Structure 1
Amino acid sequence: MQQYLFFSRDISWLGFNGRVLQEAANSSAPLFERIKFLSIYSSNLDEFYRVRFPVLMALANVPKPGEEVTDHRGILNEASQLIARQLDEFGRILQEDLLPGLKRHNIHLIYKEPVPGFLTGAVTDYFYTHVLAFLQPLWLRDYSRKFFPENNKLYLLVVLTGADGAEETAIINIPSDALPRFISLPYNGTQYILFLDDVLKLNLANIFKHYTVTGSYSFKITRDAELELQDEYEGDLAEKIENQIEKRDLGLATRFLYEPGAATRTIFNLAQTLGITSSNMVQGGSYHNLKDLSSLPIGTYKELSYQSWPSVSPKDFNTGLSIFDTIKNRDVILHIPYHSYNPVLRFFNEAAIDADTEEIYVTLYRVASDSRIANALISAARNGKKVTVFVELKARFDEANNLKWSKRMKAAGVKIIYSIPGLKVHAKVALVKKKNNNRTEYFGLLATGNFNEGTARFYTDHILFTANPNLVRELEMLFIFLGYRQHADKYPALQFNHLLVAQFNLQQTFLFLIDREMQHAQRGKPAHIIIKLNNLEEKRMITKLYDASNAGVKVQLMVRSICRLIPGVPGMSENITVTRIVDRYLEHGRIFIFHNNGDTELFMGSADWMNRNIYRRIEVCFPVLDATIKQQLMEIVQLQLNDNVQAVQLNQSGENTEVTNNLPPIASQQEIYNYVKALQA
């Protein structure tokens, strides 16, 4: 049997973040949007250190039992070196390109330079008026375990000299969680912007009045974010989750990031005092948490941001009919965020008030902080509807918000089904049951993304409204399963013939569909697979795609982030291409297209091809059965495959390379927006 090769998951992940950094360097993008891409890069890197770096460190020391033979220490070193190169590029882009660009618009971000004297009075006034109330200085000589640097919070290490000439050190918090990270001060026609860090540094003498400040250096500690939830789940799971969230920011340190310039002994003394090992120490820049750059107060310079693309109101729902009457007549699809999200809100709002509505079921994975959908579900319950909501409490970094909303809904009479032991529910589905003349009618939502009106503004997703009995009846079966599975391992035997549900038939069906394309190729017939995912990691699925390539199947992949498949290798993947698209919106939809000798089958859904999605989650993918909608999706996918402006192609080394397809310049997101507008004409 041939031994296939795979990219490292973590190096591929960092490669995607490198693509984000490329967009920050893209001179054709508006200036503030490029700054936002730096912010995204910084936020992603923090998440990598919280989620993946602990795994790399553990594997480098003690491989998991049964783990494949892999040079984990080599991957750890490669990741560290790659991050270092990217951070050098980050600094170059910011200092040599973006900051001068801001100055050309009379915006001066003071970055690693003295605060001009004409601003010191205003800065000192801001310090006394706004900052001082939030400061808690701590002498290192008085350090006790009561002080615990919180995850990704900002601190200053202050080096002082007393009247007797003795050196002292102190720690003081930079209260960026309570105050804006930046202060804007107009002066003589120029907008000066200061980091809160510099406001504090400029006024250290006003805090340590009997000392001479000889140096101040920012630092932060990043901590392991994994929730240590075992599979037994005895007792109240919600309470367990809540307790673990409180512990998350007390996790083991995975990175001690510090500003250069301090004496080595001073930094190592601080690290030792805080219980940080030398292997976790990383020298950074003068400022940390540069994800805050997205909140830079630059005013209303329209030319610095993307031209607005007002969302399109879908004509299918502009008929004056109830949304359910429209869905009863035909399937309707939304392409978010090009389409308005309002029909999704209408779906839940109308269900909540409609006298014919009897039951509402929905899965919520990431709930918006001010969720109108959750409020509609609360109203539905108070209006006497039977409302059942599956809330996934293990959605990383959204646990607290999901828990908050689940408590509110439960108090209003909504039946809340919490996380299933050993499984996450990542499916994005909803079902409304109505009674019409003693006949039950079913209406479903099946989506590639969360029911979250916040992320719907900048995630590209597809949402299908359907009353197709083959789909909605199986959707009801899924909710029945979730209700049983919460309480016991035993549940009714279920068979899904149309929906693809992880734990039941999802992987098997995709393997069958790939096999079928291979059979067509072997018979000399056209064979073609197009797959769009966020992440491609699971080896069995990748191996099957390698097999398909070797059988002569043309395989076109669009993988936004992690991709372990190595494309273009003779004898392994020579018929496979992989592209990435990074633009103003985050590509999020999952689409699977199988040529099937001209009788094309197209599926969408929530599932990436990762170990967690296939083996440890409830995912739902679904066939697109309406011919018009299927054609729309295929045309949208073709625009993405033709993208030669915002897309890059992965080479055999995992590098992001230019797409050269001899077509006129095509930026797919712009073209898709134009396409969606034309649909409404």
Structure 2
Amino acid sequence: MSKKNLIARDISWLSFNGRVLQEANDISVPLRERIRFLGIHSNNLDEFFRVRVATLKRMIELGTKKNMHLEENPQAILDQIQMIVLQQQNEFNRIWDNIIVELAKEQIYLVSEKELTGPEQLFVKKFFDEEVRASIIPLLIESLPQLPYLRDKSLYLGVVMRKKESAYDQKYALIEVPSKAVGRFVKLPNQGDEKRIILLEDVIRYNLPYIFSYFGYDYFDAHVFKVTKDAEIDIDNDIATSLVQKIEKGLKSRRKGKPVRFAYDKDMDAGLLEYLIRRLNLSRKDNIIPGGRIHNFRHFMDFPDVFNSKSQRLAPFPHPALVQSMRVTDVILQQDVLLHFPYHSFNGIIDLLREAAMDPQVVSIKITAYRLASNSKIINALINAVRNGKAVVVMLELRARFDEEANLEWKEVLEEEGVKVLLGVPNMKIHAKACVIKKKLANNRILQYGFVSTGNLNEKTSRVYADHCLLTSNRSVMADINRIFNYLTNPKLNLHQLRGCKTLMVCPVNMRKELSVLIDREIKNARAGKPARIILKLNALSDATLIFQLYEAAAAGVDIQMVVRGIFCPHIDTKKLKHHMHAISIVDEYLEHARVLIFHNNGKPRIYLSSADWMVRNLDHRVEAAVPVNDPVLQQELLDIIHIQLSDNVKARLLDEELANNYVPSSDQKKVRSQIETYQYLYHKTLKTGEISSD
């Protein structure tokens, strides 16, 4: 098959962001969440331009498709992107207009500088003087030899100043809106039951006559814009330079990345708009996107809590095996435990590491870290372990995109405390989520236990990311995790360690091959007239080799069901495939982040939890791990949860080549919203222990 039998990866991703926009448009979703989804859509799009669009532009400059696995030329994809983004922007603006109406019904008003009452004007002037003035540096740009450095992600006001008696006497100025230092939203003094909010850029707009008072201008016009830049970090091949130095150098160069998108208020002064486009070396062929008065909507993920109704988000609860007085460690040494976030509390992981830090019999902890919480309790537990004499090894991935600076800081903190920090492998990210803890008993007997997870060790995101984590003391699993760490300690000498993994499927050495074997087995069973079925739960499915093998399996009669949150590249609507391939995407309150692989295997199911999506970058260019779930009780639990998701007819969308994002039809069936049903399913398991109230 040719790559024409695939949906373009970037176009499929935009379709996913369209599903996020659908949530913002859904009137059954609480108003605060609808606003949050607009913020998520905006933030997603920023990252898409910083990474994917920037990469396509680089390819055009180089005149190559090399290593991009594209089925079309980059310019054709960019043209499609421009069209889809503009369509989504129009839909975004329509949804926001409707939300403003809904906010007014709750007496919540986002007011402009022109709508301030007398008392509010005094408040805004005082707020500006006390909180804002010191954080802004207005720049008169016409007299400068080149445009000042514009920060990626920042919001700017483009200001036109003139005198009313002369249209020719005017100047242009730029002001960076200091959202990070001051906050984007300013609550105005209450007026009865009304809650009135003004955006920081409007506070600055109101104060423009004061800011530029010394020029004598009496007319001011100001509109927002933002520039999105190439976020790729170029890692040079200088062997005399350490990875840390390369990352630090790359971060500095990222700040000077080329613009890949210019988004602006469509009412901006035409002369200023033309001036900015010219000085940024953009052309009309570039992603120049007109929008409404408000930009940088990502801040709206943190819209002030001024709503009449309080959040209905359900609280996490303890796993039934971990609610007794017994230590987490003791439980894991007796049985495997499967945690499901955000339904189960993340405290089980933190408690496990805290116990290890204090246990006199624990001699070492080895753990991988990709994205950590800003005040990480994981890190605190590991530091306490070092202080208690344990040998602690942390594989810290410095190249976790957009977390590079935070991870550099964590490296310094950990090394100061005596933690051995591993920095990974050249040209390969370490994305596996694994931990092994070693206990040495009095008779010199060694016990090992730990976990393999589908998600990051981040207690903050664990409240909103749906992931699975297997806590286990299985010897063969622990042996393979040790092999991974042996490899990471010295990648040049220890590749054989990675290849020696027998229980875990590990990228880049054996996961692709093992997946192929598992699919082939289902094909053989189908051709032999035996039951054959594959269920995949992934974030992304774009690897052409595996997709074509799934096509072969479906054509042979293997029943393939997929739950894929984001990128989905297969064409599954052909006559040969549509009766055997079915795919949905679930976008709801929690972000579906787990990867679960289920192969029927003639009634002896092979079930894996994995950190890897089915993408070339994951399978061939990262260290990833997939752990088998062998306990029949835990297998059934996972199957139950996956079947709940496959039954979703509230938040599930059909995935097809039309990219229409049509909701799964519910007909007269019972409404199944899988995240609510999963919560209830797991909650009742804990309820049976009698440790939580049924109220």
Q: TM-score scaled to structure 1, two decimals?
A: 0.96
**1:409 aligns to 2:411 (yes or no):** no
SS at match of 2:345: coil
Q: Indicate the residue corresponding to 2:693 in structure 1.
A: none
Change (3 A) 1:68 1:428: closer
Change (3 A) 1:98 1:508: same
Q: Indicate the residue corresponding to 1:582 in structure 2.
A: 587
**What is the Cα-based RMSD across aligned positions, in Å?**
1.9
**1:195 aligns to 2:205 (yes or no):** no
- Please list, as runs of the form range in 1=range in 2, the aligned pairs for 1:129-168 lying within 5 A after superposition: 129-145=130-146, 147-162=148-163, 166-168=169-171
Structure 2 counterpart of 1:524, from 509, 519, 529:
529
- Please list, as runs of the form range in 1=range in 2, the aligned pairs for 1:275-290 lying within 5 A after superposition: 275-280=281-286, 281-290=288-297
SS at match of 1:632: helix
Q: Which moved more, 1:74-83 or 1:159-168?
A: 159-168
- What CA distance in whole angstroms lies between the structure 1 residues aligned with 2:19 and 2:608? 28
Q: Are the counterparts in 2 of residues 387 and 415 from structure 1 also a CA contact under 8 Å?
A: yes
Deviations, residues 135-186 of structure 1 (Å, cap 9, x unaligned): 2111123324482111121111111125875121111221112111111112
Q: Are the counterparts in 2 of residues 231 and 421 from structure 1 also a CA contact under 8 Å?
A: no
- What CA distance in whole angstroms lies between the structure 2 residues aligned with 1:492 and 1:330? 27
Q: Which moved more, 1:136-145 or 1:460-469?
A: 136-145
- Please list, as runs of the form range in 1=range in 2, the aligned pairs for 1:14-413 lying within 5 A after superposition: 14-60=14-60, 62-65=63-66, 70-95=72-97, 97-110=98-111, 114-117=115-118, 119-145=120-146, 147-162=148-163, 166-185=169-188, 186-209=190-213, 210-230=216-236, 234-280=240-286, 281-299=288-306, 301-303=308-310, 305=311, 307-413=312-418
* Amino acid in structure 1 at the alignment position of 2:129: Y
Change (3 A) 1:492 1:555: closer
SS at match of 2:142: helix
Q: Are the counterparts in 2 of residues 566 and 654 from structure 1 also a CA contact under 8 Å?
A: no
* Amino acid in structure 1 at the alignment position of 2:94: R
Change (3 A) 1:36 1:68: closer
Identity rate, percent: 36
Q: Are the counterparts in 2 of residues 159 and 215 from structure 1 also a CA contact under 8 Å?
A: yes
Q: Are the counterparts in 1 of residues 483 and 497 from structure 2 also a CA contact under 8 Å?
A: no
Deviation at 1:29, TM superposition (A): 0.9
Deviation at 1:599, TM superposition (A): 1.1
Q: Indicate the residue corresponding to 1:656 in structure 2.
A: 661
Deviation at 1:56, TM superposition (A): 2.6
Change (3 A) 1:18 1:493: closer
SS at match of 1:130: helix
Structure 2 counterpart of 1:422, from 424, 427, 438:
427
Q: Which moved more, 1:287-296 or 1:639-648?
A: 287-296
- What CA distance in whole angstroms lies between the structure 2 residues aligned with 1:584 and 1:464? 23
- What CA distance in whole angstroms lies between the structure 2 residues aligned with 1:231 and 1:630? 46
Deviations, residues 216-274 of structure 1 (Å, cap 9, x unaligned): 12111111111111456543211221222233222111112222223433311223234
Q: Are the counterparts in 1 of residues 152 and 228 from structure 2 also a CA contact under 8 Å?
A: yes
Deviation at 1:64, TM superposition (A): 2.4
Deviation at 1:593, TM superposition (A): 0.4
Deviation at 1:363, TM superposition (A): 0.6
Q: Are the counterparts in 1 of residues 363 and 391 from structure 2 also a CA contact under 8 Å?
A: yes
Q: Indicate the residue corresponding to 1:539 in structure 2.
A: 544
Structure 1 counterpart of 2:559, from 554, 561, 564:
554
Q: Are the counterparts in 2 of residues 158 and 213 from structure 1 also a CA contact under 8 Å?
A: no
SS at match of 2:129: helix
Q: Which moved more, 1:524-533 or 1:474-483?
A: 474-483
Change (3 A) 1:513 1:147: same
Change (3 A) 1:8 1:493: closer
* Amino acid in structure 1 at the alignment position of 2:197: I
Q: Are the counterparts in 1 of residues 162 and 171 from structure 2 also a CA contact under 8 Å?
A: yes
Q: Are the counterparts in 2 of residues 312 and 676 from structure 1 also a CA contact under 8 Å?
A: no
Change (3 A) 1:42 1:458: same
- Please list, as runs of the form range in 1=range in 2, the aligned pairs for 1:531-680 lying within 5 A after superposition: 531-660=536-665, 662=667, 663-680=669-686
Change (3 A) 1:654 1:433: same
Structure 2: unaligned runs, 5 residues or longer: 689-695
Deviations, residues 90-121 of structure 1 (Å, cap 9, x unaligned): 111111x2111111111111269644455222
Change (3 A) 1:112 1:652: farther
SS at match of 1:410: helix
Q: Which moved more, 1:10-19 or 1:280-289?
A: 280-289
SS at match of 2:314: coil
- What CA distance in whole angstroms lies between the structure 2 residues aligned with 1:137 and 1:292? 22
Q: Are the counterparts in 1 of residues 440 and 447 from structure 2 also a CA contact under 8 Å?
A: yes
Change (3 A) 1:69 1:529: closer
Deviation at 1:657, TM superposition (A): 1.1
Q: Are the counterparts in 2 of residues 4 and 572 from structure 1 also a CA contact under 8 Å?
A: no
Deviation at 1:2, TM superposition (A): 7.3
Deviation at 1:479, TM superposition (A): 1.1
Q: Are the counterparts in 2 of residues 232 and 421 from structure 1 also a CA contact under 8 Å?
A: no
SS at match of 1:187: coil
Q: Are the counterparts in 1 of residues 161 and 221 from structure 2 also a CA contact under 8 Å?
A: yes
- What CA distance in whole angstroms lies between the structure 2 residues aligned with 1:168 and 1:260? 20
Q: Are the counterparts in 1 of residues 113 and 205 from structure 2 also a CA contact under 8 Å?
A: no
Change (3 A) 1:513 1:493: closer
Deviation at 1:406, TM superposition (A): 1.4
Change (3 A) 1:2 1:494: closer
Deviations, residues 433-476 of structure 1 (Å, cap 9, x unaligned): 10012101010211010111111111011111101112111111
- What CA distance in whole angstroms lies between the structure 2 residues aligned with 1:334 and 1:258? 45
Structure 1: unaligned runs, 5 residues or longer: none
* Amino acid in structure 2 at the alignment position of 1:296: F
Deviation at 1:3, TM superposition (A): 7.1
Q: Are the counterparts in 2 of residues 4 and 543 from structure 1 also a CA contact under 8 Å?
A: no
Aligned residues: 677
- What CA distance in whole angstroms lies between the structure 1 residues aligned with 2:498 and 2:247? 30
Q: Are the counterparts in 1 of residues 113 and 203 from structure 2 also a CA contact under 8 Å?
A: no
Change (3 A) 1:223 1:15: same
Deviation at 1:572, TM superposition (A): 4.5
Structure 1 counterpart of 2:463, from 457, 482, 485:
457
- What CA distance in whole angstroms lies between the structure 2 residues aligned with 1:189 and 1:222? 39
- What CA distance in whole angstroms lies between the structure 2 residues aligned with 1:298 and 1:421? 45
Deviation at 1:651, TM superposition (A): 2.4
Deviation at 1:283, TM superposition (A): 1.9
Q: Which moved more, 1:54-63 or 1:287-296?
A: 54-63
* Amino acid in structure 2 at the alignment position of 1:93: I
